[in-house]
């Protein structure tokens, strides 16, 4: 089974700021994910926004890389209101299929508070799993919508925030910080033009296992970077590139095609 946190990280890693116009938006972004220069997944994200509600759909085909990432597929959906300063999820769903196993998560939110969630098969508690408490389920958002930003400018206002995330399994914070303005120039990518680079800091809260090497590595990592690009003139900003330094080389996600 693809571990949920790793699957979501790969989808980024896995995607909230000022109001935008109510003009409808329909776009598709495609990504390639590599580890140490080896392709491990292809990822498509579709965004629809009618000015009042948004739909985000993700589909990934994972080719696998030894014991790091299992071959399989992953899909995720996020739905909710879009007419405020940020996307406001009211439902998040995740399904992964790998090695003949299926894993499903469904989370309902209301005003950024979790109202219900199910995980099948359930994640079994053990002595080293940090318990998810009720207080951890307030003021949160889903992982997918967290990294699709709304704003008025491609600048440091897209960074310098803390994203409180609940995936249905784990509760953690992603703290972002401004690094620099940048430029995408490669003709092999799906966008050429100005970018803004933000640092990411992973802060586990609950639902994780204290013995998990992945959790410890991400929490201690000082090299997680995300670059944002504008989605035409829609007022949306999406990930252009994500890099996570690992002992096997960079885990990288790069935009290969953008349609809007």
Give me the residue spans of the domains in the chain: 4-259
Rounded Cα distance, 93 and 246, in Å: 28
Residue 120: its pLDDT value, please? 95
pTM of the model: 0.86
Angle at 146 between CA 142 and CA 149, to 5 degrees: 150
User: What is the C-alpha separation between 196 and 100, in angstroms, rounded?
Assistant: 40
Q: Which residues pair with 193 in a beta bridge?
A: 184
Give the pLDDT confidence score for residue 124 in this predicted structure.
84
- pLDDT reported for residue 69: 59
Residue 4: the pLDDT is: 41
The counts of H helices and E strands in the chain are 3, 14
Residue 198, helix vs strand vs coil: strand
- Own/partner pairs, 190-195, CB within 8 angstroms, 24+ separation: 190/29, 190/30, 190/255, 190/256, 190/257, 190/258, 191/229, 191/240, 191/255, 191/258, 193/229, 193/230, 194/154, 194/229, 194/230, 195/154, 195/227, 195/228, 195/229, 195/240, 195/241
Residues of the chain with pLDDT under 70: 1-22, 64-70
| CB-based burial label for 66 (10 Å; 0-12, 13-18, 19+) | exposed
């Amino acid at each position: 089974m693809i571990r949920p946190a790793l699957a979501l990280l790969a989808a980024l890693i896995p995607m909230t700021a000022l109001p935008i116009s109510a003009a409808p938006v329909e776009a598709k972004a495609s990504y390639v994910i590599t580890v140490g220069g080896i392709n491990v997944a292809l990822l498509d994200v579709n965004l629809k926004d009618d000015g009042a509600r948004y739909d985000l759909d993700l589909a990934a085909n994972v080719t696998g890389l030894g014991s790091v990432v299992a071959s399989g597929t992953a899909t995720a959906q996020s739905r909710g209101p879009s007419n405020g300063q940020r996307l406001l999820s009211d439902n998040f769903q995740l399904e992964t299929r790998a090695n003949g196993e299926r894993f499903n998560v469904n989370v309902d939110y209301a005003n950024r508070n979790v109202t219900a969630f199910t995980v099948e098969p359930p994640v079994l508690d053990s002595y080293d799993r940090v318990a998810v408490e009720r207080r951890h389920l307030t003021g949160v958002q889903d992982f997918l919508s967290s990294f699709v930003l709304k704003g008025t400018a491609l600048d440091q206002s897209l960074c310098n925030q803390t994203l409180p995330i609940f995936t249905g399994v784990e509760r953690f914070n992603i703290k972002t910080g401004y690094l620099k303005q940048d430029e995408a120039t490669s003709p092999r990518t799906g966008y050429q033009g100005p970018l803004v680079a933000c640092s990411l800091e992973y802060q586990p809260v609950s639902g994780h296992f204290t013995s998990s090497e992945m959790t410890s590595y991400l929490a201690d990592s000082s090299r997680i970077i995300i670059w944002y690009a504008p989605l035409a003139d829609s007022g949306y900003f999406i990930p252009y590139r994500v890099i996570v330094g690992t002992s096997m080389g960079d885990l990288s996600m790069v935009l290969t095609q953008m349609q809007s």
